[in-house]
Structures are given as C-alpha cells and as structure tokens.
C-alpha cells in the first residue's frame, strides 16, 4: 500500500487575467491565501481549478507555482492530472513527482463513453507512471455515469492506488466500498454534505468552498472526530448557507466574486463558463453572504 493520505484539502482555484489567460501573480496570491487556512493541503489542477478549460502548458505552470508557494509549509500537495488523454496525464504526473508533490489524483477518462476495462486500464497505467500514491475519482455528475462497485474495488487494488475521492450521493455504495477495502483512503467531495460522508467514515474532504471557508471545514471535521455532532451540524449548516448563495451565481464564478469582495482578485472564469447574474449584482450578493454572522468569523 502506498502512503495513506487523509485530511481536509482545498480544491484549489485558478488565477486568470481579466481576458481569461493564466495569471501567475494572481495564482500566487490565491494560493498563499488558501495556504493560511490550516488545511491539510491543496488539491491542484482539478475541476475547481477549471482544468477542463485549461491546456497542458497552463496546468504544468500551475503545478510549479503552487509548489513554490508551498515551500517551507506543512501543506500536502495532491496534483490532479486527469487530462483527456493518458499521455498528457502521465506527463503531468511525472512533472508533479519532480516537483515534490505528495500524491496524484485523476478523473476517469470521460471524453468518450469508455468501458469499465478502459477506465481500469487508464488508472493502471497512470498509477504505474510514478511512485506517488494515486487518489482515483468517482464523480458521475462530471463523467456522466457511475463506475460500478466491483470495478472500483479492482481499481483500488491496483499498485500505488491509495484511495478515492467520492463525489456522489450514492452513500450506500460509498459504505459498501469502505467495507470491501477498509485500508484505502476515502475523501468526500460534496462540501455541503461533508458531515454525512464523515459520519459514514470519510477520512477527509476535498472541496471548492474550502478555498474561502477552509477554517470552517477543518473545525467541522474536528468536531465530527471529537463526537460533537451538534457543533458539526452547526458548521455544516453555515457551509450550506454559503453554498446555497453560490447556486444563484454559478459555483466558480460566485467563488471568484467572493474572492474579489475579500480583496483577492483571481480574475474571471474562463469562457464559456460565465456568471448567472450581472457582475455588480454578483459581488453584492456574495458580500451579503460573507457578512452573515455564520460565515464572517471563518474568513481567513
């Protein structure tokens, strides 16, 4: 078994220029802010970072910037390397290993309706490309279909595969998977119901809203592990207020509007992703939720 990864990780967002190009300075400012929140580490280059809209060179550059920002910290870095083709996924994995990242993760291939054997083969080849532990990914909302339970079991048995990021509401499947492979790491991917995954045995979470509310999620997880369910419920309720506000703007555009309100400009989202309301209204909308007494004390 490869090194076991656990804890709470921000699915790091991406800094872009006003015209939508990758912006090194904005990425640094964003990364440095998130690193101050007491999380276990950062999950770099995933869907929250708009990776599906970035090219290989941009993800390559982002890995290096984040690694540089994290020098001297205790942050664990997990590189998401799930590109549309295996070749580029392997190249990003090798880059992450060279930079000293602690783990890898990847969406299953989903550009075409790949079969279970093809998905298993993808993870087998990616896991063998480096010595880093690999966190695989179940996310039907992104891939268009769930991976069958027995296929996930086989994937977790692959050398160097140490666990899974589970972003699905099929909690019975989550529990069955844990019982079949109890030594694997289980990360829960829905921020707004992390408490549910934690009660069912998640070893940690990886989420978008952790970029802003990292301290809250660390406290939520600590309350859960201390057996203080009323406190954990209170914190989960607060996170849901924030997530509900994002539904009106679009999650990533709303997150970037919230960051601007906080004085951290990480640019717009990349087209065709766009805000669901006028920009000025979005910032006012997010300012109102950030000022709520349930949210404001948790802002770094």
Kindly list the catalytic residues: 137, 165
Task: Report in angstroms the alpha-carbon separations of 158 from 4, 79, 214.
Answer: 14, 19, 32
Cis peptide preceding 272, ω within 30 of 0:
yes
Residue 16 main-chain phi, psi, to 5 deg? -125, 155
Chain-centre distance for alpha carbon 234: 23
> Which two three-digit tokens encode residue 144?
């268009």
Both structure tokens of 278? 């006028």
Candidates 158, 144, 169, 231; CA nearest to 2 is 158
**Residues 101 and 108: beta-carbon distance below 8 Å:** no
| Cα pseudo-dihedral 62, 65, 69, 71, rounded to 10 | 110
The gap between the terminal CA atoms of the chain, to the nearest Å, is 36
For tokens 């549309």, what's the residue?
84
Q: Using an 8 Å Cβ cutoff, are 295 and 214 in contact?
A: no
Beta-carbon contacts of residue 173 (< 8 Å; ≥ 6 apart) = 146, 149
């Amino acid at each position: 078994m490869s090194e076991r990864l656990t804890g709470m990780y921000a699915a790091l967002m991406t800094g872009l220029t006003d015209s939508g190009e990758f912006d090194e300075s904005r990425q640094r400012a964003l990364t440095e802010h998130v690193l101050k929140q007491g999380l276990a580490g950062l999950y770099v280059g995933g869907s929250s970072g708009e990776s599906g809209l970035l090219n290989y060179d941009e993800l390559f550059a982002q890995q290096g910037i984040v690694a540089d920002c994290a020098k001297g910290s205790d942050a664990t870095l997990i590189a998401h390397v799930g590109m549309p083709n295996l070749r580029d996924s392997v190249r990003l994995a090798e880059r992450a290993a060279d930079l000293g990242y602690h783990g890898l993760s990847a969406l299953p291939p989903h550009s075409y309706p790949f079969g279970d054997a093809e998905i298993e083969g993808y993870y087998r080849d990616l896991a063998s490309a480096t010595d880093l532990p690999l966190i695989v990914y179940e996310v039907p909302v992104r891939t268009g279909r769930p991976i069958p339970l027995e296929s996930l079991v086989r994937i977790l048995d692959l050398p160097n595969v140490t666990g899974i990021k589970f972003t699905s509401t099929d909690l019975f499947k989550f529990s069955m998977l844990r019982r079949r492979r109890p030594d694997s790491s289980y990360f829960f991917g829905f921020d707004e119901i992390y408490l549910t995954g934690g009660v069912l045995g998640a070893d940690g979470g990886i989420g978008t809203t952790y970029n802003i509310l990292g301290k809250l999620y660390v406290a939520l997880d600590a309350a859960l592990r201390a057996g203080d369910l009323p406190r954990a419920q209170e914190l989960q309720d607060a996170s849901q207020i924030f997530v509900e506000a994002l539904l009106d703007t679009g999650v990533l555009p709303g997150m970037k509007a919230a960051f601007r309100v906080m004085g951290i400009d990480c640019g717009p989202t990349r087209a065709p992703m766009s805000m669901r309301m006028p920009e000025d209204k979005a910032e006012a909308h997010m300012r109102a939720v950030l000022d709520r007494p349930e949210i404001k004390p948790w802002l770094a």
